Structure 1
Amino acid sequence: MSAGSLAILVIDENRIRASIIEAGLRDAGHHHVTVIHDVAGIARRIAEIEPDVIVIDLENPNRDMLENMFQLSRAVKRPIAMFVDRSDQASIEAAVDAGVSAYVVDGLKKERIKPILDMAISRFNAFSRMARELEEARS
């Protein structure tokens, strides 16, 4: 799948930060970018949009917001790149347990979006491949 054909969903309540992510994705050749600023009903919106990749930007997440996003990441079974301004060890571990493919602390820069997205997709695909191989080995 080429960069331009990926459907990317950006979830960010902050419109300025969302525009930075969107610009970075478009500069990298991604043309199918949808931005959502309101997280209410987000699971339904994801089902409607059917993105290949999800980018979540949480400016100053509280524990409840992080947990909601981690639950979402467990449910959607897609590569997820999550940007946060600050974090702690427990949040990092929770992100890994939830299957977040890239958890970036204080790293939102337009020029970093593409390599982080590429890494998230590669990591998600590698974990998916390993899970399939383990399942086949058990059968």
Structure 2
Amino acid sequence: MSTQGLRVLIADEDREALERLGATLRDLGHEVIAFAIEVSEVAEKVASEDPDISMVVLHADDDHALALIDEISAYASGPVVVLTLREDPEFVASAADRGIDAYARPETPDAVQSAIELALRRHAELARLETKVEQLENALERRATIERAKGILMERHGVDQLTAFERLRTHARATRRRVVDVSREVADGVLQLP
């Protein structure tokens, strides 16, 4: 994803701060699509606008900012960035637990843009890892299904593992199907192989 021309949702309890951040984001070439002040507004704005990235600005009300982060993280498909004017490791840790992808002090437009770029990269990497985990889980599930079917055939016909697998594979080829699909039917009792 490009780091320029993003649709950015910004949220803060301070309307003046929202306006300043909005101006900074527009100067950086981004489109500010919504201002969300109240926690109750966030879900609707995120759902209707589907921003590329969301930003929460922390001033004084940690609980409000954390509630905004919770809501945005629950509904947004893109990354979440926190901009804070003060160093607060405890808040950043709490925000990280709620799903932020980056944080920065918005002292300069470059700091804001750097936080955006970091968040986009981190979010993309997490998405890749989630996909990889899903692929591995699916592979393990397929393997377990094939092993279960082999065990059934071994017990039912008194054959070894290689012979049981060969029967699954032969039937799969003959019916132009995947071994895992044939194995699933054997394991579910739908298919009785000779």
With the length of structure 1 as denominator, give the TM-score of the two structures: 0.81
**Superposed CA offset, 1:35-80 (max 9, x none):** 4152232111211111111011121123x32441342243124201
Identity of aligned residues (%): 25
Deviation at 1:87, TM superposition (A): 5.9
Query: In 2, Cα distance between the equivalents of 1:50 and 1:90?
Result: 29
SS of alignment partner, residue 57 of structure 1: strand
In structure 2, relative to structure 1, the CA distance for the partners of 1:135 and 1:67 (3 Å cut) is same
SS of alignment partner, residue 41 of structure 1: helix
SS of alignment partner, residue 108 of structure 1: coil
Aligned residue pair count: 134
Find the counterpart in structure 2 of residue 118 from structure 1. Answer: 117
Equivalent residues of 2:54, 2:81 under 8 A apart:
yes
Which structure has the higher relative contact order (CA within 8 Å, separation 6+)? 1
Find the counterpart in structure 2 of residue 28 from structure 1. Answer: 28
With the length of structure 2 as denominator, give the TM-score of the two structures: 0.61
Equivalent residues of 2:13, 2:64 under 8 A apart:
no
Which structure's CA Rg is the greater one? 2
Structure 1, unaligned runs of 5 or more: none
* Structure whose residues are more often strand by fraction: 1
Q: Which amino acid aligns with 1:99?
A: G
Question: Where do 1:1-139 residues align within 5 Å?
Answer: 1-2=1-2, 3-4=4-5, 6-30=6-30, 32-39=31-38, 40-62=40-62, 64-75=63-74, 76-86=76-86, 88-104=88-104, 107-111=105-109, 112-139=111-138
In structure 2, relative to structure 1, the CA distance for the partners of 1:120 and 1:16 (3 Å cut) is same
Query: In 2, Cα distance between the equivalents of 1:38 and 1:137?
Result: 41
